[in-house]
Amino acid sequence: MLVLAVELLDPIALPRRINRMAWSPRSLIALPFRLCPVVSFAGLMLCLTGRPLTAVAVTIILVTGFAVGSNVKRRVLGEPLIFTDFAIVGEMVRHPGFYLGAIPTLARVALIVVLAVMAWLLIANWTGDLVSRGIGLGLALSCWALLFRLKDLRPWRDLMVHPAMDADVARHGLIATLSLYWLRWRKEPDPAPLPGLAADGGVRPVELLVVVQCESFADPATLGEAIATRIPELPGLARARARASRWGKLAVSGFGAYTMRTEYGVLFGREEDRIGFRRFDPFLTAARDRSAALPMRLRNRIGDALFVHPHDLSFYGRDALMPAIGFTGLFGHAAFQGVLDRGPHVSDAALGDRVEALIATSVTPTLIYAVTIENHGPWKPGRLAAGGTALDAYLDHLASGDALLDRLIDVLDADGRRATLVFFGDHRPSIPGVVEPDTERDTPFVLIDFNPDGPIAQPVEPERLTPAGLHHAILDAMSAP
């Protein structure tokens, strides 16, 4: 019964091999990787309850929940459930507004009901049958061990060795893709270490490098027909593009989330297609690649490397990661106590105040990497003003990000030192019914050199860079004569 349920329920998850069909079967070769995790979980439930029917019922509910939940996520963020999503369960508990608020109301109600039913089944049907419990434990452990063994045997050793999420879910199923991707991720080798840039006096001296990762900052002209009639002016972005040494589109992979993918690319310079299964959440293993991080590459040319983010720095483990990769000073939410919020988060203006103060007090060559939070979703109606729509809130916050960019240009102009300002959006917003997943996901980026003694910058043509490409553009700017 459990095998039949898995083979009937897993294909609910999108995409399907034949998208026009409401249901299409998954591949036979991946069958062990669909069944082993499910049977192992059923064995665990049998070990806990001692009742086979309860174990099967809870497992079927879970499989159904995975498929339906994956489809909800795909509709909101443009991609199915990924194995790294389970790593942020703790973040969901600590910051539920970031996650649950983005889930449609009906789905939230369904989630609560499903969890309640599962809890009731486990509690109300508990029995002291030690034989059944022992069988369940043996089943769980044996299927788990088999899962680890099969991945290295023919014909499975060559199955899903390179990430292709949509194609693999469609062909092999959601559960098989989740389990085998996780197994491949565990064995992903660390990249080769990289040296720091030489402290060469013949290259452009690094005095100030200011990098701003702006939350959900996107060119509204690229966000679709739903806002085509109310595209706002972004004078800061227009001014920055006119002065930029390099500017254009940043080819980010995430939509509406996955800030850490963009952040990792800019900080570490590793292309996603070169880091294998780590690409889905590179922060999980980033500390093992510390030599590639921007502060480490620039350690011979800068005195201080400061990380500024007006939010809980334990989010995505930044409190531990950033010092490990060379940041000498961290400014998290505690550094912004008492400042003005805009909506539910610290304002971009307050972050600008902090960055301006750090620029003014810097006495050695300094890197400042700032991550904004004001425009973090979800954008609920009435977020900033009674009667305002979700789009109203987003566009209002977008203007704040643009004003921050404009302000930093003025600050660095007035400072008078040789400096580089880099400003980019981490991903586009996900606003159901207004801005929804699309094949185009790029955000704007600008790189401006401030050289009071140099020639006036001439307009340049736009280009398309990946986040890793922007990392290398920064290094190039720091190595210019």
pLDDT at 200 over 90: no
Distance CA 140, CA 44 (A): 5
Q: Is 90 buried (19+), middle (13-18) or exposed (0-12) by CB count in 10 A?
A: exposed
Amino acid at 123: I
Kindly list the domain boundaries of the chain, sorted by start residue. 2-186, 208-478
C-alpha to C-alpha distance for 289 and 446, rounded to whole angstroms:
26
Split at pLDDT 50, 70, 90, the class of 228 is confident
Q: Is the pLDDT of residue 456 over 80?
A: no
Q: Identity (one letter) of the amino acid at 222?
A: T
Mean pLDDT of 442-470: 91
What span, in angstroms and rounded, lies between the C-alpha atoms of 50 and 56? 11
Amino acid at 418: R
Residue of higher predicted confidence among 340 and 184: 184
- Gap between the Cα atoms of 398 and 219, Å rounded: 9
pLDDT score, position 20: 53
CB atoms within 10 A of CB 283: 20
| CB distance 311 to 333 below 8 Å | yes
pLDDT of residue 464: 98
- Res 209 pLDDT > 60: yes
How far is Cα 45 from Cα 60, in angstroms, rounded to an integer? 11
Overall pTM surpassing 0.85 (yes/no)? yes
Residue type, 291: S
For every residue of 245-302, DSSP letters joined together read SEEEEE--S-SSS-HHHHHHHHHH---GGGSGGGGGSGGGTGGGGGGGSHHHHTTTT-
Query: What pLDDT score does 201 carry?
Result: 53
Q: What's the pLDDT band for 236 if we cut at 50, 70, 90? A: very high
Q: What is the crossing angle of helices 174-186 and 52-77, to 10°?
A: 80
Q: What is the pLDDT of residue 392?
A: 94
In the structure encoding, which two tokens stand for residue 364, read together? 């050695």
Cα radius of gyration rounded to whole Å, the chain: 25
Task: Assess contact for 328 and 305: CB atoms under 8 A.
Answer: yes
Largest CA distance in the chain: 83
Domain 208-478, classified CATH 3.40.1010.20, yes or no:
no
What is the strand order of the sheet 246-250 is part of?
329-331, 304-308, 366-371, 208-214, 419-425, 443-450, 246-250, 463-465
User: Which two tokens mark 385?
Assistant: 């003003």
Tokens 């809980």 sit on residue: 312
217 and 375 Cβ atoms separated by less than 8 Å: yes
Strand partners, 463: 248
- Written as six digits, the tokens of 142 are 């044996």
The region of weakest confidence among 222-226, 311-315, 318-322, 327-331 is 222-226
Crossing angle between the packed helical segments 165-172 and 174-186, to the nearest 10 degrees: 130
462: its two tokens? 């736009």
* pLDDT at position 27: 93
Q: Which band of pLDDT confidence, cut at 50, 70 and 90, is reported for residue 22?
A: low
Is the Cα dihedral 142, 148, 153, 154 positive or negative?
positive
Structure confidence at residue 119 as a pLDDT band (50, 70, 90): confident
Can you give the pLDDT at residue 19? 56
Per-residue pLDDT averaged across 433-446, rounded?
94
Q: Are 259 and 426 in contact (CB under 8 A)?
A: yes
CA distance linking residue 174 with residue 37, whole number of Å: 12
Mean pLDDT of the chain: 92
Work out the number of other CB atoms within 10 angstroms of the CB of residue 366. 23
Determine the length of the chain. Answer: 481
**Quick check: helix, strand or coil at residue 328?**
coil
pLDDT classification of 18: cutoffs 50, 70, 90: low
Residue-wise DSSP of 411-460: HHHHH-S-EEEEEEES----BTTTB---S---EEEEEEEE-TTSPPPPP-
Answer yes or no: are the C-beta atoms of 429 and 435 closer than 8 Å.
yes
Contact between 366 and 418 under an 8 Å Cβ cutoff? The reply is no
